[in-house]
Amino acid sequence: MGDTNSPAGRATPPDAIMQRRLLGSMIRSVSSLDRAILDAPVTAADLVAAIRHMRSTSAPGMDGLTAGFYQVAPDVFGECLSMVFRDQLKRGRLLPSQRKSAVVLLHRKGSRALPGNYRPIALVQVDVKVLSKALTYRLQQVISDLIHPDQKGFVKGRSIHHHVRFLADLQDLVTGRDDEAYALFLDFEKAFDRVNWDYMFKVLDKMGFGSTFAQWIRLLYTDPQAHLLINQNIQPALFPTRGVKQGDPLSALLFILTIEPLGNLLRDHDEYGVCLTADHTTTGTFFADDSTLLSSSIPNLQAQLGLVQDYCRGSGAKLNLSKSVLLALNRSQECPLLPGLRVLGRTDKVKYLGIPFGQSSVDVSLVDFIEQRFYDGFKQWYRQARTLRGRLLVAQTMILSRLWHYTQHVSIPSPTVRRWQSMLNRFVLSRKHDRASTHVQLIPTEFLYQRCQDGGLGFPSLAAHLKRQRLQLLLQFIQGLSVTTVRNWTTAGSELLALVITAHGSSYRLGLSNHISASPWQND
């Protein structure tokens, strides 16, 4: 979490002029009704609700007390903590033990010898996490009115899949129109750890957060101490000067508030973006710190990069340009080389929110990747369950759950789905884990998929689940068309559909109508 008080760890303070520009771009603010919700006293009931909704096995802080300890008597602890926190709010400081956190390093990817490949997670005391969670519940109620729909991360009612679908449709749309368009996938260095606290509180003030709620946030960020936990040994205290606590439930919401001015800057200069319709242009997408610039030309892209650098100077963020990736969205156009940027070639891919994107189609290679991931799951987990119910639980939670994010965006061929279903049934019924294994199924198929309460075994039907995913996305698309706020993903999808219908004429309309009326999804 953040920097220490050592000279090498101190951050360069944000540029005051650029910071005023960022704050001046913010037009959304907390309503008086929402401010009353945020500033209401934190009651024992709020804390009890937070205690009950925590995972009992969540990692404890330095006091060793888990959430399960507080869940033994949540009403008693809620009442006690409410009195403690009220007193601490008046004093403006937590107890010394509450300000301490143990920081563990989790390996992300790459060489384990490089410190940059580790993610720090702050193990905060559970009583402090209870307060943070109660504040998080309040902020979640109002944050959708403060954050533009271009940001999909950590806002209820918004989905990561909408961004993935939007970028895929945008590729098809600009290719069909033969428009010039580019996507630059930005890489911010240690984005959560570089949040400047002074800037963060200025953002809260500019958005109109009440003084009481801001005081609660200040309480959590006053004089914190971090102790690295290395090989089970607690190191001497470090004193962070910036960064939000990774591992704290409130941190994600605070972060997206601080990055919102970047989206505002880009939208204020929509002449640099990609035109979807005559009156709607898209300039970028955001999922927490996963930020993507969308530009209509290379000069416009460079102008957008200038805006990003302005944001970095005003906020304390740092753009890692050498790790940012440029993709030409029009599949028929080459992407020019730009100094300092990684430019994708015809066959190169970049992962965007977990899904590989490039100028060529990814369906075949992605299906192969998903299939290998599916079969590897059985080899990894077959020893962990001895009973039929146990194997069914393992299959649903540890194997199939790893596929659903991908299958939302790629069509799985029917023969592949049947092979997967057969493998799943063999594993659950007879513990077979090899893809070449065989099994004589004696139980009627319809009995396998019936619900348990109806006398069946409750096996998941993969074909039905895949269709359900498509229908859910289609329903969200239709619902998105009915709202007054223009959404990028529904606008791009609508324009792409209109382009296809225009290109194929009335014969396509008739074929589409017949396909829908004859679709097996109608009865699914």
- C-alpha 447: how far from chain center: 38
> Position 96: which residue type?
P
92-126 per-position pLDDT tens digit: 999 999 999 999 988 887 888 888 788 888 899 99
Would you mind telling me the total number of residues written for the chain in this entry? 524
pLDDT(522) > 50 = no
pLDDT(54) > 90 = yes
| 71-80, 152-161, 369-378, 485-494: least confident range | 485-494
pLDDT(4) > 60 = no
- Are 294 and 181 in contact by the 8 Å Cβ rule? The answer is yes
> Position 36: which residue type?
A
| 37-46, 356-365, 422-431: least confident range | 356-365
Show the beta-strand stretches assigned E in 220-335.
Answer: 225-230, 233-238, 274-277, 280-282, 284-287, 290-295, 325-328
Over range 345-356, report the average pLDDT: 93
Order across the sheet with 118-124: list the strands.
Answer: 118-124, 100-107, 225-230, 233-238
CB atoms within 10 A of CB 333: 16
Secondary structure element (H or E) that encloses residue 394, with its range: helix 388-394
Q: Which two tokens stand for residue 29?
A: 């603010």
pLDDT(150) > 90 = yes
Q: Which two tokens stand for residue 464?
A: 């039905």
| 222-236, 321-335, 430-444: least confident range | 430-444
Pairing mode, strands 182-185 and 225-230: unpaired
The proportion of the chain whose per-residue pLDDT surpasses 70, expressed as a percent, equals 94
- Are 488 and 276 in contact by the 8 Å Cβ rule? The answer is yes
151-181 per-position pLDDT tens digit: 999 999 999 999 999 999 999 999 999 999 9
Reduce the DSSP state of residue 421 to 3 states and report it.
helix
Q: Which two tokens stand for residue 25?
A: 């771009």
Q: Which two tokens stand for residue 231?
A: 């090989």
- Are 3 and 240 in contact by the 8 Å Cβ rule? The answer is yes
- Are 281 and 304 in contact by the 8 Å Cβ rule? The answer is no
Structure-token match 């109109």, residue found: 208
pTM as predicted: 0.90
- Give the closest residue to 329 by CA, choosing from 298, 299, 302: 298
| 264-278, 312-326, 349-363: least confident range | 349-363
pLDDT number for residue 3: 55
Backbone φ and ψ of 505, nearest 5°: 75, -165
Reduce the DSSP state of residue 455 to 3 states and report it.
coil
pLDDT number for residue 8: 40
pLDDT(409) > 60 = yes
Residue ranges covered by each domain of the chain: 30-145+197-241, 364-467
Measured distance CA(460)–CA(463) in Å, rounded:
9
User: What value, to the nearest 5°, has the Cα angle with vertex 490 and ends 485 and 494?
Assistant: 120
- Give the closest residue to 11 by CA, choosing from 260, 320, 240: 240
Among left, alpha and beta (phi > 0; psi -120 to 50; other), residue 133 is: alpha
Backbone φ and ψ of 478, nearest 5°: -65, -40
Which one is predicted more confidently, 72 or 435?
Answer: 72
pLDDT number for residue 1: 59
Q: What is the DSSP string of 157-180?
A: T--HHHHHHHHHHHHHHHHHHT--
End-to-end CA distance of the chain: 48
* Interhelix angle 211-220/126-142, nearest 10 degrees: 150
